[in-house]
Every structure is written in C-alpha cells, then in structure tokens.
C-alpha cells in the first residue's frame, strides 16, 4: 500500500464517524484533503452535513466538491473535526502546522466535541521533534520571537515561499519552523511558547486529540484516548 493509499484509507475510516446533521470541522493539508474528498462522496450519496474549514484552501476544496461550508465566525461548537498531523506520539500529542493553518486548526479543535486525526504510518513516532515545530508569529515581533525560540533551545527558520518571500498564514502572519530536536515534555514546551509575546499560536497539540486513525499496509489502526 502506498503512502497516499494509507492516508486515503485512514481518512475514509474517520469520515465513517460522521452522522447525519453534524457540523464537521475540515482540517488542512494533504492528508486532511483525503478526508474532505471522502466526506464529499458520502454527501453525494445522501449524507446531510455542514462544514467549517480550517483554511481558505480547505474551504475552496470543500466547496468545489459540493460540500456546504459555512463561516466559522458565528460557530461556537463543532460536533466532529477530522484533520491530519505531521507527527503524533503514543500519548496523543502531535505536531501540526506543516500546511500553515495551525492557528485555525487549534481554534476549531478547541471548539470540537471530538477531534479525529488521520495519518499514514510514517507519522506515528515514539517522541515528537523530528519534524520542526511550526510557530505562527506576528511579523512585528519576528526578530524577538526568533531570539526567544533560540534561547529555548530551538534552531528557528522563517518559512518562505518562492523567491524567498515570507510565507503568510490566512491571518497574514509569518510562520517560523523551530527545530527543537526531540521534545521530552510537550505540555511544558507548549506552556513556555504560550508565554512568549508575539507568538500567535504554536503547532503543539497536547490535549485536543481524541482518536487517531493510522493507515497501514494491512488496514487502518484505530486508537482511542483513554479517559
């Protein structure tokens, strides 16, 4: 099974959790896009669902596939969110934000009754940190935040697009990719990052995720957090 096949299988399994009438949060990124397509197929087959999106890119994809996507601005609660992750460990801590939508992803996750993560087997790790941690930063505070991240032990790099132009989030902020190496205490690091003025949000998810669907060669493994 290819990596894309693993992602598609995990996404389809997660989308099977959607019930009629639900308000569904749509994640951002290549793996989350498989879930958007799988949900669109179920809607074509008769499922009633309304969606909110974690990025303009996901909104465009959802609408193009026939999904009803409403603005999140007036939404205070989401039934179920399906998203991807760049890394996830056995404690359901994850690094997200490779697609640049970490702020909206975290807001929608916080508003959700359940958060389902879909990944291929390569994204499951024993310790977070091989993937640099995305940090959304106010452009005004970039130099200060880079210094603060360095003092925390990271090697921070501004994310750029073509010709060295800074990558901009949907909120027009910068993203700094902070290479910390292995992260021993995700909750402690998350708290330290949250205390730095100028950081709008970081990509550490330490308590938001309820279930993980892992696409593997022999099928989909489902993991549920023990309460």
Q: What is the pLDDT of residue 164?
A: 85
pLDDT digits (tens, 9 = 90+) for 124-179: 999 999 999 999 999 999 999 999 999 999 999 999 998 889 999 999 999 999 99
Domain residue ranges in the chain: 3-125+206-217, 133-201
pTM confidence score = 0.95
Residue 122 has pLDDT above 90, yes or no: yes
The domain made up of 133-201 has a fold known as: Alpha-Beta Plaits (3.30.70)
Asked if 52 and 75 count as a contact pair (C-beta separation under 8 A), the reply is yes
Of 118, 150, 163, residue with least CA distance to 13? 118
Region 28-54 average pLDDT:
97
Intra-chain end-to-end CA distance of the chain, in Å: 33
Could you give the residue ranges of the DSSP H alpha helices within the chain? Answer: 3-15, 30-44, 56-64, 102-110, 142-151, 186-194
User: Considering the chain, what percentage of its residues have pLDDT values greater than 70?
Assistant: 100
Q: What is the pLDDT of residue 227?
A: 63
The domain made up of 3-125+206-217 has a fold known as: Rossmann fold (3.40.50)
Is 105 labeled as catalytic in the residue annotation?
yes
Which residue bears the tokens 């999106």?
53
Q: Which of these is catalytic: 12, 59, 105, 208?
A: 105
Asked if 142 and 174 count as a contact pair (C-beta separation under 8 A), the reply is yes
């Amino acid at each position: 099974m290819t990596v894309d096949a693993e992602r598609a299988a995990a996404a389809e399994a997660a989308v099977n959790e959607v019930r009629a009438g639900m308000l569904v949060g749509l994640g951002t990124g290549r793996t989350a896009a498989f879930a958007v397509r799988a949900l669109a197929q179920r809607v074509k087959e008769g499922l009633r669902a309304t969606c909110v999106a974690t990025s303009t890119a996901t909104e465009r994809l959802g609408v193009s596939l026939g999904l009803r996507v409403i603005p999140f601005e007036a939404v205070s609660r989401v039934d179920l969110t399906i998203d991807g992750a760049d890394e996830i460990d056995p404690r359901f801590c994850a690094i997200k934000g490779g697609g640049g939508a970490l702020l909206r992803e975290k807001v929608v996750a916080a508003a959700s009754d359940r958060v389902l993560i879909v990944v291929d087997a390569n994204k499951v790790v024993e310790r977070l940190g091989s993937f640099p941690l995305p940090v959304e930063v106010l452009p005004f505070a970039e130099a200060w935040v880079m210094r603060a991240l360095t003092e925390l032990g990271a090697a921070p790099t501004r994310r750029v697009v073509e010709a060295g132009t800074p990558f901009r989030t949907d909120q027009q902020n910068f993203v700094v990719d902070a290479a910390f190496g292995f992260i021993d205490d995700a909750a402690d690091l998350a708290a330290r990052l949250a205390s730095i003025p100028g950081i709008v949000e970081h990509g550490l998810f330490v308590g938001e995720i309820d279930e993980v669907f892992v696409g593997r060669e022999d099928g989909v493994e489902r993991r549920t957090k023990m309460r």
